[in-house]
Structure 1
Amino acid sequence: MVEYYSASRKLFIILNYTALTALALLCILPIINVLAVSFSESYYVSANLVKLWPKGFTFRSYHFVAETPEFLRSVLVALERLALGSAVNMLLTIIVAFPLSKESSQFRFRTGYVWLFVFTILFSGGLVPTYIIIKDVHLLDSIWSLVLPGAVPVFNMILLLNFFRSLPKEMTEAAHIDGATHWQVLWSIAVPLSKPALATIGLFTMVGHWNEWFNGLIYMNKPEHYPLASYLQTVIVQRDIALTTDPVMLQQLAGLNNRSVKAAQIFLGALPIFLVYPFLQRYFMSGIVLGSVKE
């Protein structure tokens, strides 16, 4: 069937596609430029001749990064944080969202508990009080200082809460009639049916832990405990690889450019998210839409 559009509708479609294409290019072109700089020779990078395609193609920046112990150590810390933090966030978010998804007749003071969580979004406890608490419970220089302060992401909890509310009540009622406990209903019915929402908040959680750098700088006194994002922050903003006095590093730096090495580190830092997202994309949109609508 051939669809016919009015002139105003065609104009709207053209403008819409043009705007979305321009927005996509604004997001993609900086990534392509960083990738091109990381693969380019020092001369071309220093002369600002590299735009969207590498000049003097080389892997020397990546070889240097692979042999940098600080970078490799920060990757291991970031992976530890990602695994531990995502597991804790997902577990606690599920446990909190499921009871709060029930009606007030089933869970007394449910609305009050929900507003307590929402209150933490509107008002923060403050950086200094949070630091004092982390220090008093002896979590400084510990991986737990990067995990526990945000153990229950309230935005993710609200998404999952609304998704749980959209599940057919008849299924849970039938399970209770058959003798299932609340824990059995949660893990045997609610969680398996919530894969789109879980994939969505899982992606949010992983991206958050991988990209978050501020807590690493605040709660880690030793640079060897920095996760990757915090290490990259210090490299990009505070440090210059050209200032090193290590003879071995100086020999490796010969012919390298500071920008190309930083670009290689930035691209390697973003690569895991690029690799994970395609596998979760099919759940992402449905999870966002269903989890954001309250029935």
Structure 2
Amino acid sequence: MKQFTGFKGRTGLALIYTIIVLLALICLLPLWNIVAISFSSNQAVTANAVGLWPVDFTTAPYQKIMADTQFWRSFGLSVLRVGLTLVLNMFVIILMAYPLSKSKKQFKGRNFYMNLLIFAMLFNGGMIPTYLVVKNLDLLNTVWALVLPAAVPIFSIILVMNFFAGVPKALEEAAVIDGANQFTVLLRIFIPVSLPSLATVALFSIVGSWNDFFNGLIYMTKVSEYPLMTYIQTLSVDIADIIKSGGNAQDLANATEVSNRNLNAAKIVVAVIPLLLIYPALQKYFITGIVVGSVKE
């Protein structure tokens, strides 16, 4: 890299790395502070004495979250929701993006359906009409109330459609000459070479359905049917409620170890962990595309 040789080049490279490190610290330090708060005592958090390391280390916030059986039920519901949403999203995205990526001559109704998708993306029915539709279909308090309203991610369809449109035509023409039909072309050529794009929209689907808590509040009237993000939003520390419910001295002692602030920090950590486990599995698809260099035009 000749541009980084010599004193000026090395100085410029050092400046670039310095800026990158500073930007990384700006992003990471607040998250690390949240982790430290989640492992700190109530007194230290209340006194704003927590920096980058836990003060009076405790796992009481996590114990409060993990000890609740409803937490694990909500966790399972969220995993089921993410799985169903991902499968349904990918099925719809692929089957809609493929024909829309064709030219107007190949798919005569392309412009009509494309305009319909764009219109639906810009102007949706709104919260109340959607709720009435879900209610009239008897989907309240079911996982399908969380899955079906998000079944057609239009932005992801357009993203994959543009990626499909960039696949070299020579690949499709060679397959057609060999006798392949459209489904074979889609399964054997377009999907394999479009894995980076499909991995991206899959990550969008996973993160969106996992982090969503508002739909759980709307469509679920029973706490037992709350997804994880909705349920942990309801967790709080209320000593008055413990006293009213006849809690013993041990319950009060445990409650004083936790405040809403470090409990909320623990919620954030618990919510992020599954996404941190999933992202490395998809990261390789963001680095390079399979299409690049597949055909020399």
| TM-score when normalising by structure 1 | 0.86
Cα RMSD over matched residues?
2.7
Cα 1:14–1:256 change in 2 (3 A) is: same
8 Å contact 1:37–1:45 — kept in the other structure? yes
Q: 2:185 is matched with which residue? A: 185
How many residue pairs get aligned? The number is: 286
Can you list the C-alpha shifts for 1:135-164, whole angstroms capped at 9, x where unaligned?
A: 111111111111111112111111111111
Cα 1:242–1:275 change in 2 (3 A) is: farther
The structural deviation recorded for 1:286 is 4.4
The AA in structure 2 aligned to 1:35 is V
SS in 2 for 1:3: helix
Shift >6 Å, 4+ stretches:
5-16
User: Within the alignment, does 1:81 sit opposite 2:117 as a pair?
Assistant: no
User: Within the alignment, does 1:262 sit opposite 2:264 as a pair?
Assistant: yes
1:211 & 1:265 partners in 2: Cα distance? 12
The structural deviation recorded for 1:199 is 0.9
Matches within 5 A, 1:98-117: 98-117=98-117
Can you list the C-alpha shifts for 1:102-126, whole angstroms capped at 9, x where unaligned?
A: 1111101202211211112211211
Cα 1:123–1:188 change in 2 (3 A) is: same
The structural deviation recorded for 1:265 is 2.1
The structural deviation recorded for 1:28 is 1.6
Q: 2:126 is matched with which residue? A: 126
Q: 2:66 is matched with which residue? A: 66
SS in 1 for 2:3: coil
Q: 2:279 is matched with which residue? A: 277
Calculate percent identity across the aligned residue pairs. 43
1:4 & 1:197 partners in 2: Cα distance? 33
Structure 2 residues not aligned, in runs of 5+: 293-297
1:229 & 1:6 partners in 2: Cα distance? 53
1:78 & 1:227 partners in 2: Cα distance? 5
2:183 & 2:67 partners in 1: Cα distance? 48
| TM-score when normalising by structure 2 | 0.86
8 Å contact 1:41–1:56 — kept in the other structure? yes
Cα 1:180–1:230 change in 2 (3 A) is: same
1:215 & 1:145 partners in 2: Cα distance? 8
Q: Which moved more, 1:255-264 or 1:50-59?
A: 255-264
2:268 & 2:134 partners in 1: Cα distance? 29
Cα 1:86–1:243 change in 2 (3 A) is: farther
Structure 1 residues not aligned, in runs of 5+: 291-295
The structural deviation recorded for 1:78 is 0.9
The structural deviation recorded for 1:252 is 4.0
1:276 & 1:188 partners in 2: Cα distance? 26
